[in-house]
Copies of this chain bind each other. A is one copy, B any other.
Amino acid sequence: MSVNTFGRVLRFTTWGESHGPALGAVLDGCPPGLEISEEAIQPFLDARRPGTSKFTTQRREPDAVKILSGTFEGRTTGTPISLMIENTDQRSKDYSDVAQAYRPGHADYTYDAKYGFRDYRGGGRSSARETAARVAAGAVARQIIPEVSIMAYVCEIGGDEIDREAFDPAQIGQNPFFCPDSWAVKRWEKLVDDARKDGSSLGAVVECVATGVPAGWGAPIYGKLDADLAAAMMGINAVKAVEIGDGFRAARLRGEENADPMHPGENGPEFSANHAGGIAGGISTGQPVVMRIAFKPTSSILIPQDTITREGEATKLATKGRHDPCVGIRGAPVVEAMMALVLADHKLLHRAQCG
């Protein structure tokens, strides 16, 4: 039971620390014959890459992916695909304060409590930098599910939601917030920049929609598609909540309001609603799979906070250095990657049992 591995038949294992020489992923179970290349994976990493605007951390790294195994003449061979990203901007800084005291909201204390000590440089293994490996693996997973389109976007920052009437998918790639509403972009620019200047941070909500998922993926009872997606998303750094379809709102509906009535359609049933978010009984219905994921505000802030030292003494700590004022923004590409990985996994798992 590798705790650094995710997936059922398509499995990926990640490794690496924030300030080690490199980080990477090994993706196993990929079907043979798929076209993959470093060039095709790179754009997904670029989308997640830090340092591209003042709304993300100023750590600047090319995050260039190398394929070390699993392909031959540009195609997957069915053997494990090893992906590596070298760390190039491990700025030599003084970590003595973080080494000695626990940053509230971070994993500093819990890693020490669990393992007895920790690699404190940049958060070590608990750094969100690890998600680069997921994004690389997710780019390969997309090749397994060409029938599916995945779109993740930020729909709320610091409590300020997008206007659903102004939703324009073409906007998502046009602004630093992965935001589909150009009016919200204006507001968020100020909102996030203000938080940054205050030395504070903001939370965000990411929404993800996968269309083209056929009915029948997902494996009850303990391999339900929604349960696997919940685990995938809750495991992303800073995520504290996950909804499928209407989520918490469904708990406030009556049965007849929450139903997704079915009607005869050209290719299988047509549904006149999608409260369920495309999943019933843990199996995809053929409707879009819809999720919402809540990211807490970045724990690293310049405002000093009460905390304790490793020796248990009271102290105050402000986290200097380069940080995302809203970690949820760069969460969108990671959410997309995890969605791709889970769906590809379930496509293959379904094929195993049901041919």
Contact = CB atoms under 8 A, between A and B. Distances in A.
Contacts of A215: 109-110, 113-114
A349 B9 contact: yes
Contacts of A170: none
Given A4-B221, A6-B222, A215-B109, A195 B240 contact: no
Contact of A5 (B13, B75, B110): B13
B107 A221 contact: no
A355 to B, nearest CB: 7
B243 A241 contact: yes
A246 interface: yes
Contacts of A284: 110
A302 to B, nearest CB: 9
Contacts of A218: 110, 114
Nearest to A101: B262
A82 to B, nearest CB: 4
Contact of A13 (B2, B111, B250): B2
Given A16-B68, A349-B1, A306 B263 contact: yes
Given A269-B308, A349-B9, A355-B351, A159 B118 contact: no
A62 interface: no
Given A352-B29, A354-B78, A261 B104 contact: yes
B203 A256 contact: no
A43 interface: no
A216 interface: yes
Which of A77, A228, A262 neighbours the largest number of chain B CB atoms within 10 Å of its CB? A262
B269 A220 contact: no
A328 B255 CA distance: 12
Given A5-B28, A118-B72, A264-B314, A281 B353 contact: no
A276 to B, nearest CB: 7
A4 B124 contact: no
Contact of A352 (B5, B32, B200, B351): B351
Given A79-B124, A107-B280, A113-B283, A9 B9 contact: yes
A2 B29 contact: yes
Bin the interface of chain A by size: 35 or more
Contacts of A244: 234, 240-241
Interface in A191-211: 195, 200-205
- The complex is assembled from copies of this chain, and their number is 4
B107 A220 contact: yes
Given A202-B254, A205-B248, A251-B159, A306 B29 contact: no
Interface in A5-22: 5-9, 11, 13-17, 20-22
B8 A1 contact: yes
18 contacts: A2-B222, A22-B69, A31-B355, A77-B117, A79-B119, A79-B220, A109-B262, A109-B285, A110-B281, A113-B215, A113-B283, A114-B283, A195-B255, A203-B252, A227-B232, A240-B277, A259-B305, A264-B308
Given A3-B219, A29-B353, 20 more contacts: A4-B28, A9-B349, A9-B353, A15-B68, A31-B354, A32-B117, A72-B118, A72-B124, A75-B117, A79-B220, A105-B255, A110-B279, A159-B252, A195-B255, A201-B254, A224-B234, A231-B234, A240-B244, A240-B277, A256-B305
